[in-house]
A and B are shown apart, each in its own frame.
Chain A
């Protein structure tokens, strides 16, 4: 019965708010709160996170009581692939250079779609690489190593 409620949007949203609120409240203990006259850096975060926890509890209670809307299906595959491809880009860009990192980024993220047509992705990759290098590196004069090898 209880476990069932956790599949509802309200309950879960409430839990997320309570979790983040509690986390923020605990961290904010490290900052001095000060007084009303001379508020320290801890005052506002504490007040705010306490409010967020209360609100989260309210939303959670509502979800447990009335059920609320059920969760939609999660698009786990694209979420995972896209997130990983961004992280991969971050890991590679300063090690192997902008262009290779971007090629890998576009190839991996393309894999998140339902279809993967090698030819199309290759053409797309080449065009996007040229576009970004032309705009950011040649146009706006930012300098990133285009190719590198520095693991």
Chain B
């Protein structure tokens, strides 16, 4: 009953004309930019962040969430039609989606992706609505030491499960943690690592780091490669699926939703791992696993559902614990802080309008996704043919001008350019940027919680092992690290990721 009351409060917020408008713009912009080759949700959000700063927080967050799942979905369209995933999480969709497109079933693949996403979106949103409250209530019990443990676990699991070398990912996390310390220390008021630049007194701006780390290196490396794309621009038919076709995708969508929804709630796991896991599950339950990689519709439905369900449920740790689960969530988290909303257990009590408004707007957004994507598929296909030489100057313009608008500060533009160079160098050295962003966001918080835990415990460092919750998180983190050093398990992880590249090679 309370749930209904809360949801109606949320819909009251989400269904105001203005917010429907923002949601629509978000989903539209997200899909539009997500479809464009070489620009994933991360880049999209980091580029569009400055636009949202002038808005009221609820509307801004509704629009950001719209951009997020719009871009996620647009990325799948690109994955199916061009075999070019917008984000790592939609790379699983490439495996069978692109094969379906090659076999003339592009319409069915696109419709499957849309419907599976919507089913997952609905269930995922319901999960947020029901679980967030008890989880928030539980989170009141978390002391500073428990938060510290949870953050350690989140950072470790994000590195262990990321598609990259463990040691380098860990290095990037620490690098990010250090970058996060730039600026004025909350406790003592001393400026750290600011090199007497007044603009750094408040730290490196979040969108500056994100744009520099994701958008710039991506443009540079894209320009360094040859532009080869094969687009299926032929008329796409079969978007309206038959009942039999729908029945074929329903069970895998539900399985994918379950896998994704559960994985998404764990801090540090996120959509990518969920999509891979759902694909694996589908392959295991299938009577004919040989079809996978050759255009099996389950291979599109399950990972798409998982990826979307996880995208929704990652909002749970972000909003209730204040711990972003993925790099994209870290972006949204950073934005929230800039709007003056501190995500955490109290966000539902302090900003019920914001919390439930966003939850409700996810329902609305999911409906809009279908409404936008299926009829407009022709438009998106046309967009795929936009040459990159038109796109990248616009991206660079957003990097420079977008960051300039945040504080009207040219120093921000220089910092962004410098981080872009750093980001490109690190990418060349196979050091993944996502753990760095997570570290950057969590760095100041981790330090704060560590200090406060020690202050309140009278300087006893055993406090982290004495609290059962903190102990549990730290043990899980340690086990994860140890397990990755065991060669057999490490090989298994590589197999999962390699399967993807093999399938790509086949295509």
Contact = CB atoms under 8 A, between A and B. Distances in A.
A72 interface: yes
Interface string A100-124: 0010011001101111010011001
Contacts of A94: 410
Nearest to A58: B167
A4 B74 CA distance: 43
A136 B413 CA distance: 17
Interface string B154-175: 0000000000000110110011
A144 B417 CA distance: 21
A51 interface: yes
Contacts of A10: 168
A10 B54 CA distance: 43
Dominant secondary structure of chain B at its interface with chain A: helix
Given A52-B174, A86-B396, A109-B392, A132 B454 contact: no
Interface residues on A, range: 35 or more
A90 B414 contact: yes
Max chain B Cβ within 10 angstroms of own Cβ: one of A55, A86, A117, A120: A86
Interface in A49-100: 49, 51-52, 55-56, 58-59, 62, 69, 71-75, 77-79, 82-83, 85-87, 89-91, 93-94, 98
A130 B14 CA distance: 31
Contacts of A49: 178
A138 interface: no
Interface in B355-414: 388-390, 392-394, 396-397, 399-401, 404-405, 408, 410-411, 413-414
A135 interface: yes
Contact of B168 (A13, A32, A106, A140): A13
Interface residues of B, number: 63
A89 B220 contact: no
B416 interface: yes
Interface string B64-78: 000000000000000
B181 A45 contact: yes
A39 interface: yes
B178 A48 contact: yes
A102 B397 CA distance: 7
The interface centre, meaning the residue of A27, A31, A69, A79 with most chain B CB atoms within 10 A of its CB, is A79
Contacts of B425: 16
23 contacts: A16-B429, A20-B178, A24-B193, A36-B461, A39-B450, A40-B188, A41-B192, A52-B178, A69-B430, A75-B424, A82-B220, A82-B420, A83-B420, A83-B421, A89-B413, A98-B401, A109-B397, A113-B389, A114-B227, A115-B389, A120-B390, A121-B393, A128-B397
Interface of B: 51, 54, 167-168, 170-171, 174-175, 177-178, 181, 185, 187-188, 190, 192-193, 216, 219-221, 223-224, 227, 388-390, 392-394, 396-397, 399-401, 404-405, 408, 410-411, 413-414, 416-417, 420-421, 424-426, 428-431, 446-447, 450-451, 454-455, 458-461
Give the 6 A-B CB pairs with smallest separation, nearest first.
A75-B224, A37-B459, A90-B413, A78-B223, A90-B410, A13-B429
